């Protein structure tokens, strides 16, 4: 494997180096950097042009400019752009903005996309599967500038207007309830009667819930409250136990329930700490939670069930923590919304300028600014993940060893999680790591529409101004990331699938 | 199978129950975090402006940083003797900063006195050393060691004398100069920069710096000049507060790369404090500004005017919209170097008659500004003093050639035996110009020309059509100005008709008589004389059919109902000329 990595790196470096020459050449030809200056009034034109010519070495031939750039770049200096600003500091800002904007969206699309893919594979050719396929393809084909504009109009402007008087109209209640109930009914496997029961109860539940939320003005001052937090935590405990080991053995369930119980105690005990924490505190709390979960699982599970009880307890603990986190966020919503003039969902930028609030308020501020661009990115990339996962899952489900697993009497849960999911995920790993490689290239259109200045914008401005420096900086980072992550994908593949040998 | 299903049902039931209960849960708590109110987008002591381009330098007086964005954003931080003020953007003295007076015409002499109380925001008085730095920069002394925006008249003055710490100085011009008023230090790209900062960053004491300036000692000033030219660039974060003192009602206090710039009231300002304590300029792409305004994230926008933007704003509620003109104007230039128009006045007149100016304005401009009109005067905007004089002067030519008349155009072509003459109309590739090109082609083909319309993205490049002179008619825009020197070289005979030699006179028009008038207007002793000469020049340009003006570029400004005192301004004074009066209630 080491030989493989070294050989691969050696080849990559030369490919990369050659690519820089090609890209630099193209970047110098893309546009005349003096075009703007040439349109200035005549008493200012000459001097503006002279400055640019000197700064960009426009009087030198291409190859000299390339080596001037290369010489500096090797020493870590990426030069200055047409305005004389340091490209290094532009790159710093662009990379961190890109990470903020795209990483979250990518993770969400991976998680949701894979989940949807798994579910629709398990329910192949059902109404749910067809609907999901249809919606995924519709989203995939939407032009991102258009979906972004629609999101701004409906999810920001109209939503914020609605928040001023948050009453949900009757058709809306009916619509949302119907969609939720249909989804819930579709998820259930069983005869017609049990489907109808789930459909009916969900429908009634949603109608009552939405009507109550609307009537009490919950959306103006939301929150979960201790009862909901407690019930959700217990629900989570059961859910995770089902996933990890099934409900037929007591110790894992007991561990998960204890973990949830401890979480509920923490909800009350940690009140003062959670009033205005910082990120570090929260990370520490998460670590402590995981540690406690491990301990609980270890003791309660005993020798026999330790393998299942530990993850069940840890996941339940973290899930309960997330619910408490959400509750805190929601409780701060009213004061945050107040501080931004009652318009919490933003259409542009990364944060409200000069905003200074508690951890929760700043968190909501980031959320309000990230919500729409992330949603736009997620909607568009959902299709790829869900379709790949579905195809790969279906392929694995038709394998002989899956039939064997069923035949020897394994529960359906065990077949799906142990045999199908694990093997089905191998091709997805490759997809994910390619995707993370391209993430650093930014999302040009989404950035532009939502007023983020990240990698995509840097590239675009470089092209618009005929300025090779930002273009090269962009290329170094995004091209480098693609090379590295492609290699990681190959290695991951070999690690996950022992049949593959790299050298 | 069954177990999985049962678990799901249980889960669904639990989740449903949990959600129902959440309605009860929320009312009992929440509302204990209200102790932390602050100045966000919705706050009354902040007005937020949207601007598409970023601030990249605190010193817009250098050739490289003389951008519209720098000027607009920094307007509130600048004190100067005059500004382009009011809704017409006329030159207006700023007596809060200081006073000036023309004391003699021969030689042209102007006396300036800075307000006794005027200080930089760090407390250092604005005085002689600042003036000396300003003069050294703008006169181009010491071989242009300190970068300046360009040649704006000061190169013809002698170095003013002043005592260290003195507040008054005199500019004496070698030759008369029509734009003397705007040549003096104003608000904008010829503002006074803080000499004490330049001295300190250049490693000199204030006395040494002043002495070096007076002695024009390039070696001693090298570091200081380097700082002056590049040290104020904003690389990712704001320079230290001590480097960016302000002379206006605001000071620059915040910068987030790619996001926003914050101006805060300057407590050391000697005049009246601004109406709003904080001004935030958020960087928002132009297509996105209307929605940001609707969503209350910004208060004031000035996007590129398109029919879409106009419609969007018309439908939005709670928003004030102002439609008006900008200084920029669209025009056709003939090629006098080669092609059918270069030798024939008659063909140029035929083109003037077939080119559908009225139709272009009706179809492309009036949907944005309903009362837009065809432009007949090139170098003056409708609100400039002397515009009416020009209109009267050119009236006879306009009566004959100012209105589209395809019949007469065809008649001329037939007389000249030039029916079917191929002409190449070139322009930059954008929607509005492509639309107008299509109208020109339709109309002039009918009159008997054979129009080839070419729009290209590299039109303005060295290798593009305008520089290379491959056009017979070129359509593009000039950014106008109310300075006589701003458009002077556009019509002046070029040294040679090459990419480098022709300057702004892209069609290489050459006329000694016109050159004389262009010289005269630069040295006109008073505005009335200059206006009269300008009218004469316009008439000459029409009689010889040098260029054909089409329309004044439209402008759109919009702001939320809660903001007061927004007064759009067509000049380079820009929307922020009165930023200190903006308020929000």
Question: Who contacts A46 (Cβ-Cβ below 8 Å, separation ≥6)?
Answer: B150
pLDDT for position B36: 34
Q: Among residues 162-201 of chain A, which lie with CB inside 8 Å of chain B?
A: 184, 187-190, 194, 197-198, 201
Q: For residue B22, give the nearest of A149, A187, A224 by CB distance.
A: A224
Contact status of A363 with chain B (Cβ, < 8 Å): no
Contact status of A209 with chain B (Cβ, < 8 Å): yes
Question: Nearest residue of B to residue A83 by CA position?
Answer: B64
Q: Which residue has the tokens 């540690």?
A: A291
Q: Is the pLDDT of residue A373 over 80?
A: yes
Q: Is the pLDDT of residue A62 over 80?
A: yes
CATH assignment of B249-325+555-584? 3.40.190.10
Q: Is the pLDDT of residue A503 over 60?
A: no
Contact status of B44 with chain A (Cβ, < 8 Å): no
pLDDT for position A248: 82
CB A133: neighbour CB atoms within 10 A?
Answer: 17
Read off the pLDDT of residues A310-345 as tens digits, 9 standing for 90 and up. Answer: 999 999 999 999 999 999 999 999 999 988 888 999
pLDDT for position B300: 96
pLDDT for position B97: 95
Distance of alpha carbon B299 from alpha carbon B418, whole angstroms: 57
Residue A210 has φ and ψ, to the nearest 5°, of -65, -40
In this prediction, the answer to ipTM > 0.95 reads no
Q: How is residue B335 annotated by DSSP? A: -
Helix (H) or strand (E) run with residue B322 in it: strand B319-334
Ranges in chain B, pLDDT < 70: 1-43
pLDDT for position A43: 67
Q: Among residues 300-339 of chain A, which lie with CB inside 8 Å of chain B?
A: 330-335, 338-339
Instruction: Pull the structure tokens for residue B246.
Output: 């302000």
Nearest to A434 by CA among A362, A395, A482, A480: A482
Q: Is the pLDDT of residue A274 over 90?
A: no
pLDDT for position B4: 38
Q: Which residue has the tokens 């990419």?
A: B499
Contact check, Cβ <8 Å, B29/A225: yes
pLDDT for position B471: 93
Instruction: Pull the structure tokens for residue B228.
Output: 């002056």
* A11 Cα to chain B: minimum distance (Å): 35
pLDDT for position A101: 86
Contact check, Cβ <8 Å, A234/B66: no
pLDDT for position B20: 40
Distance of alpha carbon B336 from alpha carbon B333, whole angstroms: 9
Question: Nearest residue of A to residue B480 by CA position?
Answer: A41
Chain A hits for B285, CB-CB cut-off 8 Å, are: 448-449, 451
Q: Among residues 267-326 of chain B, which lie with CB inside 8 Å of chain A?
A: 278, 280, 282-285, 287-288, 291-292, 294-298
A275: Cα within 13 Å, side-chain hemisphere: 10
Q: Label the pairing between strands B300-301 and B422-428.
A: unpaired
Read off the pLDDT of residues B32-68 as tens digits, 9 standing for 90 and up. Answer: 333 333 333 456 789 999 998 889 899 999 888 888 8
Q: Among residues 180-199 of chain B, which lie with CB inside 8 Å of chain A?
A: none
Q: For residue B38, give the nearest of A41, A224, A356 by CB distance.
A: A356
All structural domains of chain B with their residue ranges: 56-242, 249-325+555-584, 328-553
Average of per-residue pLDDT across A350-360: 89
Tell me the DSSP string of B113-179.
EE-TT-B-TTS-B--HHHHHHHHHHHHTHHHH-S--S---SGGGEEPPP--TT--EEEEEESS--TT
pLDDT for position B12: 43
The CATH homologous superfamily for domain B328-553 is Dipeptide-binding Protein; Domain 3 (3.10.105.10)
* B21 Cα to chain A: minimum distance (Å): 6
pLDDT for position B39: 34
Contact check, Cβ <8 Å, B291/A153: yes
Read off the pLDDT of residues A426-472 as tens digits, 9 standing for 90 and up. Answer: 888 888 888 887 777 767 888 888 988 889 889 988 998 889 999 99
Distance of alpha carbon B30 from alpha carbon B8, whole angstroms: 32
CB-defined contacts A:B, below 8 A:
327
Contact status of B17 with chain A (Cβ, < 8 Å): yes
* B241 Cα to chain A: minimum distance (Å): 17
Nearest to A122 by CA among A456, A393, A330, A343: A393
Rg, chain B, Cα only: 29
Q: Are B37 and A338 in contact (CB under 8 A)?
A: yes
Contact check, Cβ <8 Å, B462/A152: no
pLDDT for position B258: 85
| Partners of B557 in beta bridges | B322
The CATH homologous superfamily for domain B56-242 is Dipeptide-binding Protein; Domain 1 (3.90.76.10)
Chain B hits for A83, CB-CB cut-off 8 Å, are: 56-57, 64-65, 67, 233
Read off the pLDDT of residues A231-250 as tens digits, 9 standing for 90 and up. Answer: 999 999 999 998 888 788 88
Instruction: Pull the structure tokens for residue A327.
Output: 């509750």
Residue B179 has φ and ψ, to the nearest 5°, of -95, 35
Helix (H) or strand (E) run with residue B453 in it: strand B450-456
Question: Who contacts B473 (Cβ-Cβ below 8 Å, separation ≥6)?
Answer: B332, B333, B334, B335, B341, B351, B423, B424, B425, B426
Distance of alpha carbon B169 from alpha carbon B192, whole angstroms: 14
Q: Are A28 and A62 in contact (CB under 8 A)?
A: yes
Q: Label the pairing between strands B547-560 and B300-301.
A: antiparallel
Burial A391-407 (b: 16+ CB within 10 A, else e): ebbbebbeeeebeebee
* B244 Cα to chain A: minimum distance (Å): 17
């Amino acid at each position: 494997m080491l030989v493989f990595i070294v050989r691969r790196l050696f080849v990559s470096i030369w490919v990369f180096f050659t690519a820089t020459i090609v890209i630099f050449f193209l970047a110098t030809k893309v546009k005349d950097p003096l075009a703007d200056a040439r349109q200035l009034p005549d008493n200012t034109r000459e001097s503006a042009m002279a400055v640019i010519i000197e700064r960009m070495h426009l009087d030198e031939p291409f190859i000299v400019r390339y080596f001037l750039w290369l010489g500096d770049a090797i020493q870590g200096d990426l030069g200055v752009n047409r305005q004389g600003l340091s490209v290094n500091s532009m790159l710093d800002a662009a990379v961190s903005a890109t990470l903020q904007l795209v990483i979250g969206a990518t993770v969400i699309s991976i998680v949701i996309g894979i989940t949807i893919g798994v579910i629709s594979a398990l329910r192949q050719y059902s109404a749910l599967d067809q609907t999901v396929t249809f919606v995924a393809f519709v989203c995939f084909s939407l032009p991102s500038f258009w979906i972004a504009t629609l999101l701004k109009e409906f999810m920001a402007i109209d939503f914020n207007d609605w928040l001023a008087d948050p009453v949900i109209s009757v058709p809306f209640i009916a619509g949302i309830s119907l969609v939720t109930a249909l989804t819930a009914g579709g998820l259930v496997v069983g005869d017609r009667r049990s489907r109808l029961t789930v459909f009916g109860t969900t429908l009634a539940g949603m109608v009552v819930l939405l009507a109550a939320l609307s009537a009490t003005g919950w959306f103006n001052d939301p929150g979960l409250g201790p009862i909901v937090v407690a019930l959700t935590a217990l629900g989570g405990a059961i859910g995770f136990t089902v996933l990890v080991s099934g409900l037929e053995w007591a110790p894992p369930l007991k561990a998960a329930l204890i973990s949830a119980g401890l979480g509920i105690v923490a909800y009350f005990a940690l009140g003062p700490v959670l009033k205005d924490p910082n990120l570090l505190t929260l990370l520490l709390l998460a670590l402590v939670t995981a540690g406690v979960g491990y301990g609980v699982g270890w003791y309660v599970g005993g020798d026999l069930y330790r393998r299942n009880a530990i993850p069940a307890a840890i996941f339940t603990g973290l899930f309960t923590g997330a619910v408490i986190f959400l509750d805190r966020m929601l409780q701060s919503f009213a004061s945050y919304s107040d501080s931004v003039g009652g318009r919490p969902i933003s259409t542009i930028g990364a944060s409200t300028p000069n905003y200074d609030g508690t951890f929760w308020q700043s968190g909501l501020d980031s959320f309000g600014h990230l919500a729409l661009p992330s949603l736009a990115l997620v909607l568009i990339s959902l299709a790829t993940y869900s379709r790949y996962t579905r195809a790969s899952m279906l392929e694995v489900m038709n394998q002989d060893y899956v039939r064997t697993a069923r035949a020897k009497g394994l529960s359906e849960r065990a077949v799906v999680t142990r045999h199908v999911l694990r093997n089905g995920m191998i091709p997805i790993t490759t997809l994910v790591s390619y995707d993370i490689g391209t993430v650093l290239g930014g999302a040009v259109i989404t950035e532009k529409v939502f007023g983020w200045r990240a990698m995509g914008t840097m590239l675009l401005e470089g092209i618009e101004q005929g300025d090779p420096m930002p273009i090269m900086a962009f290329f170094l980072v995004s091209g480098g990331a693609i090379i590295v992550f492609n290699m990681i994908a190959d290695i991951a593949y070999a690690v996950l699938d022992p049949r593959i040998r790299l050298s | 199978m069954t177990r999985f299903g049962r678990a799901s049902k249980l889960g669904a039931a639990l989740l449903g129950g949990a959600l129902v209960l959440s309605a009860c849960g929320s009312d009992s708590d929440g509302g204990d975090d209200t102790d932390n109110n602050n100045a966000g987008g919705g706050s009354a002591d902040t007005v937020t402006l949207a601007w598409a381009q970023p601030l990249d330098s605190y010193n817009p007086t250098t050739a490289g940083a003389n951008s519209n964005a720098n000027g607009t954003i920094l307007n509130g931080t600048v004190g100067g003797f005059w500004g382009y003020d009011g809704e017409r953007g006329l030159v207006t003295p700023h007596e809060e900063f200081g006073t000036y007076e023309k004391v003699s015409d021969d030689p042209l002499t102007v006396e300036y006195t800075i307000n006794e109380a005027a200080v930089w925001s760090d407390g250092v008085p604005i005085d002689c050393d600042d003036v000396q730095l300003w003069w050294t920069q703008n006169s181009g002394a010491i071989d242009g060691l300190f970068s300046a925006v360009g040649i704006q008249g000061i190169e013809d003055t002698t170095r003013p004398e002043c005592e260290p710490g003195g507040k008054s100085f005199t500019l004496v011009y070698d030759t008369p100069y029509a734009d003397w008023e705007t040549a003096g230090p104003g608000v904008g790209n010829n503002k006074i920069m803080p000499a004490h900062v330049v001295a300190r960053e250049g490693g000199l004491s204030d006395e040494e710096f002043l002495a070096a300036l007076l002695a024009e000692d390039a070696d001693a000033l090298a570091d200081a000049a380097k700082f002056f030219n590049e040290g104020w660039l904003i690389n990712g974060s704001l320079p230290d507060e001590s480097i960016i003192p302000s002379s206006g009602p605001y000071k620059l206090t915040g910068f987030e790369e790619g996001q926003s710039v914050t101006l805060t009231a300057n407590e050391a300002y000697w005049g009246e404090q601004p109406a709003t304590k904080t001004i935030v300029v958020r960087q928002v792409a132009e297509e996105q500004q209307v929605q940001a305004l609707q969503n209350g994230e910004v208060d004031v926008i000035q996007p590129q005017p398109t029919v879409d933007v106009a419609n969007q704003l018309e439908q939005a509620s709670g928003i004030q919209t102002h439609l008006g003109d900008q200084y920029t104007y669209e025009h056709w230039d003939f090629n006098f170097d080669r092609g059918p128009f270069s030798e024939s006045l008659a063909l140029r007149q035929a083109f003037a008659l077939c080119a559908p100016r009225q139709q272009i304005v009706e179809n492309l401009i009036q949907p944005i500004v309903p009362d837009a009109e065809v432009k007949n005067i090139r170098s003056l905007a409708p609100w400039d003093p002397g515009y009416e004089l020009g209109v009267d002067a050119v009236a006879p030519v306009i009566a004959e050639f100012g209105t589209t008349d395809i019949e007469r155009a065809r008649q001329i072509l037939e007389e000249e035996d030039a029916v079917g003459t191929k002409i190449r109309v070139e322009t930059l590739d954008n929607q509005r110009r492509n639309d107008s090109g299509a109208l020109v082609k339709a109309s002039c083909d009918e009159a008997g020309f054979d129009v080839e319309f070419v729009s290209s993205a590299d039109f303005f490049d060295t290798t593009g059509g305008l520089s290379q002179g491959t056009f017979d008619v070129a359509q593009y825009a000039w950014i106008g100005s109310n300075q006589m020197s701003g458009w002077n070289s556009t019509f002046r005979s070029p040294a040679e008709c090459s990419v480098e030699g022709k300057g702004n006179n892209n069609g290489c028009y050459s006329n000694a008589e016109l050159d004389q008038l262009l010289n005269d207007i630069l040295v006109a002793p008073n505005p009335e004389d200059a206006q009269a000469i300008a009218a004469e020049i316009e008439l000459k340009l029409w009689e010889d059919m040098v260029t054909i003006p089409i329309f004044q570029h439209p402008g759109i400004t919009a702001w939320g109902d809660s903001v007061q005192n927004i007064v759009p301004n067509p000049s380079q004074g820009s929307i922020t000329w009165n930023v200190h009066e903006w308020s929000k209630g």
